[in-house]
Amino acid sequence: MTASPSEPETPETPETPETYDLAVVGAGSAGLSGAVTASELGLSVALLDTSTQTGGQFYRHPAPALGAVRPEALHHDWSAFSDLRRRLAGSGVAHLAGHHVWSTVREGDGTWSVHAVTGADGTEERPVRIRARALLLATGAYERQLPFPGWTLPGVVGAGGAQAMLKSGLVLPGRRIVVAGSGPLLLAVASSLAAAGARVPAVVEAAGYLRYARSPRALVTNPGKAAEALLHGSGLLRHRVRLRLRSAVTEVHGTDRVEAVTVTRLDADWRPVPGTGRRIACDALAVGHGLVPQIELATTAGCATRRLPDGTLGLALDDLQETSEPGLWAAGETGGVGGAELARTEGELAARAITARILGRRAGASRIAELRRRRDRMRAFADVMSAAHAPGPGWQDWLTDDTDVCRCEEVDAGRVREAVAELGARDARTVKLLTRAGMGWCQGRMCGTAVACLAARGGTAEPPAERRPFAVPVRLSTLAALDEAPHPDAS
């Protein structure tokens, strides 16, 4: 029976074997699809996720205590998630909610150990270790932020963060909200905020949409994407939201919080055009410049990466979603940002490949061929989208020397430029050693792109390596207890 939106999604862990056939990290679209498919094909599966609810960022929804009657009203394609949730409830998957995975290790016998800490914030005392014959990473992505003067003021939130506040908390970051940055997420965020009652004076897109026209085949073979864009576009028209292309928020004004923003026209390289700045009154700014694949667990395990058209790094995957490390698969945004439908497709494809490997038999050859065709079609569109919204090198001209680049360590652009121009830094790692930029709580997730670009001095920036020994913060007591880390069913 399908759980209603008001019911909790944290079922008790069933009795399970000591070693699972498959461990899936991430319960978003890709992870859910992979977990339920593998279970239905006969594998024992553990599904680990930091949240207490399934759905990931895309299908984030209110906690039961809020009593939301129609959470689907804030989502696109909710029926697909409902189907996955129904299949999960009827499966034998061990859904391990509130598990923050900080490391994955291949053991000497070829199995994988997945190390996690538990609790809402990962601070429960007892660490957990899951053993599995195969591993599927579906860890999603996080927002890319490019700094500008005033971006640390209260009232400035990530575009995806504003959407998460609305979807999970039913709250708005402000009453009059400018949405800015680059990428198709902006349209979805703006239409959601406007539908929820916010006044959205403008959507400010640093790129344009003409780049899509250069790839007509990708557009024609993905009509659903055009339909989705039309849906959001019609919502913006209905709420009289102005779309400003080739423009960016280059400064935020206010004392205690956001009071206004300056929107400036950009040239083809994203450099501000002098004399074009216009001030827009607002009390909040939702800003983001695309998404960055979250691949720390994979790269720390030795997985190869590939440079994506927007300058970020994704995992290098074969035709069946396996990484360069045998026995480790990945699906969804880890290979490049492409949306929920692509993530579901890759999750199922990976699950079928894993099942064939473990059980030594085919898991639907015709279905696998169909999934590969669908994956390739949507992945081609994802690459077009990535290229269309790739930041231009001129965005660095937005920065004054006193603009904070690394918020955690309070390192401004002037100190980074000094490290490059006077101290000889030529990459983000050297800048980090000289300035501490990237050494704070977020471990460079917020400032990594900006520091790498500034270190490149106008050249092609090397994407941050995303190699971290720990994917989430871990207590020393957790490390000390590694040899005693129990299986979740252990008493």
- CATH code for residues 19-142+292-363: 3.50.50.60
Asked if 413 contacts 257 with a C-beta cutoff of 8 angstroms, the reply is no
Contacts of residues 392-395 at CB distance under 8 Å and 24 or more positions apart, as own/partner, are 392/206, 392/266, 392/268, 392/269, 392/270, 392/271, 393/269, 393/270, 393/453, 393/458, 394/266, 394/267, 394/269, 394/270, 394/271, 394/272, 395/146, 395/206, 395/248, 395/270, 395/271, 395/453
Burial class of residue 233 in the structure, from the number of CB atoms within 10 Å of its CB (0-12 exposed, 13-18 middle, 19+ buried): middle
Q: Taking the domains of the chain in order of start, what are their residue ranges?
A: 19-142+292-363, 145-289, 399-456
* Homologous superfamily assigned to 145-289: FAD/NAD(P)-binding domain (3.50.50.60)
What SS3 class is residue 167?
A: helix
Asked if 389 contacts 396 with a C-beta cutoff of 8 angstroms, the reply is no
Torsion of CA 410, 414, 294, 190, to 10 degrees: 90
Model pLDDT, residue 125: 64
d(CA 268, CA 210): 12
- CATH code for residues 399-456: 1.10.10.1100
Say yes or no: do domains 19-142+292-363 and 145-289 share a fold.
yes
Rounded to an integer, what is the distance from CA 119 to the centroid of its chain?
Answer: 21
Runs of H (alpha helix) within 51-176: 78-89, 159-169
Closest C-alpha to 253, from 165, 178, 145: 178
What is the pLDDT confidence band of residue 7, given thresholds at 50, 70 and 90?
very low
| pTM of the predicted structure, to 2 decimals | 0.90
Q: Is the pLDDT of residue 465 over 70?
A: no
d(CA 342, CA 149): 36
Model pLDDT, residue 15: 38
pLDDT digits (tens, 9 = 90+) for 278-337: 999 999 999 999 999 999 999 999 999 999 999 999 999 999 999 999 999 999 999 999
Higher pLDDT, 462 or 26: 26
